[in-house]
Every structure is written in C-alpha cells, then in structure tokens.
Structure 1
Amino acid sequence: MIVSIPEVLKNWAEARVAEGSYSSTSDYFRDLVRRDRADADATARLRQAWSDGVNSGPALPGTFDVDDIAARGAARLNEVRAAE
C-alpha cells in the first residue's frame, strides 16, 4: 500500500519515530489504523446500547432514581477498572 500525505503530516509521523514512540513510520500508521478500528468498534457498541435502551421502553415508575443510577455506574466503573 502506498499512501500520500502532506509534508506537515509526514514530518509529524517522522517526529513520532524520532522520539522513540514508534520503530518506523509504518509502525506509526499501523497503530493509527488499529486505534481507529478500535474506536469504530466501541462507537458501534455504544450506538447499539443506546438503541437497545431507547427501544426497551420507559422504566417502571420508582424503579431507579438518579442517586441509584449514579451508584450503579460507579460500581460498574470500579469493576471494569479492577479487571484491567
């Protein structure tokens, strides 16, 4: 694959290699593509979760309050961080 980019972007990529962040400009671009793919996957999952939530209908009255939602979110975040 051959990719053409403006000089300013070429200089940016070469600077990343020079500072030791990447072994080559090819390595840098491979990392960018991997990150873009991961971001696209995460965005698709988020959109699906949003759609599932919207399509699930309204919550039953009194089922959750804002403090309960915040506490559940904080607990889930702690679980995710602990698993990392």
Structure 2
Amino acid sequence: MRPGLEAGCHPCDDLRRRSGMATVTISLSDPLKDWAERQTREGEFGDVSDYVGDLIRKDRERRQWIEDVQKLIDEGLASGVSTRTMDEIMADARARAGVDSREL
C-alpha cells in the first residue's frame, strides 16, 4: 500500500481530497446517461464528470444573471415614473454608451 493511504482507499480519492474535489454519485435515466456519454465521446468534455460540472457552472451563472436582472427590475420599479420622453431617455442612453445617434 502507498504511504498516506488508508486501507480500502482508492488512489483517486487521495487526489480528489488534495485538490478540493468531492465524489458525488447520481442516478440518471438511460436516455440521460446516453446523452451525457455521447457528449464525452464527441470530444467536448473529458468525461461525464466534466460534463455535469459544466452544467452546474452554467446553472449557477444563469441563476446569478436572473438575480442581477431582478435587482435591476426592482430598482426600476422603485424609481417611479419618469417625466422624460422616450426620445430623451434614448438620447441619454446613447450618450452614456458613447453611441452617436447619427450612426443609427
């Protein structure tokens, strides 16, 4: 047995522990399992773990985006009704974005 490993430990378990990775077991229907394995065979992901990790990262990003947009909506609603015309609002937005209205 390698030094530093307890009886029954797999060498990958030691690597995961040192790299901050954890093992999670999930159950998938056959069609979902086949889909995940197909993504790895097509070369976009190294293995199913990489694919699932990518899905989780994208879900976190999407949820953060939704939260950020909801905050902007709430701020807009709380700010009340504007007295400016739509043309004034658009001109102000273009000026802040550095877009010349003649380019449109």
Q: How would you bin the TM-score normalised by the shorter chain?
A: 0.7 to 0.9
Question: Normalized per residue, which structure has more helix?
Answer: 1
Cα deviations across residues 28-70 of structure 1 (Å, max 9, x unaligned)? 000000000000000000011001100111112xx24158538
In structure 2, the CA distance between the partners of 1:30 and 1:70, relative to structure 1 (3 Å rule), is farther
Is the aligned partner of 1:10 residue 2:33?
Answer: yes
Unaligned stretches of 5+ residues in structure 1:
79-84
SS at 1:30 equivalent: helix
Number of residue equivalences: 74
Alignment of 1:52-71 (within 5 A): 52-60=75-83, 63-65=84-86, 68-69=89-90
Return structure 1 stretches of 4+ with deviation > 4 angstroms: none
Does 1 or 2 have the higher relative contact order (CA < 8 Å, sep 6+)? 1
**Aligned Cα RMSD in Å?**
2.3
1:35 paired residue number? 58
Greater Rg by CA: 2
> Shift of residue 72 of structure 1?
2.8
Equivalent-residue separation in structure 2 for 1:29 and 1:72 (angstroms): 40
Structure 1 length normalisation: TM-score? Answer: 0.76
Equivalent-residue separation in structure 2 for 1:67 and 1:21 (angstroms): 47
SS at 1:58 equivalent: coil
Unaligned stretches of 5+ residues in structure 2:
1-23, 100-104
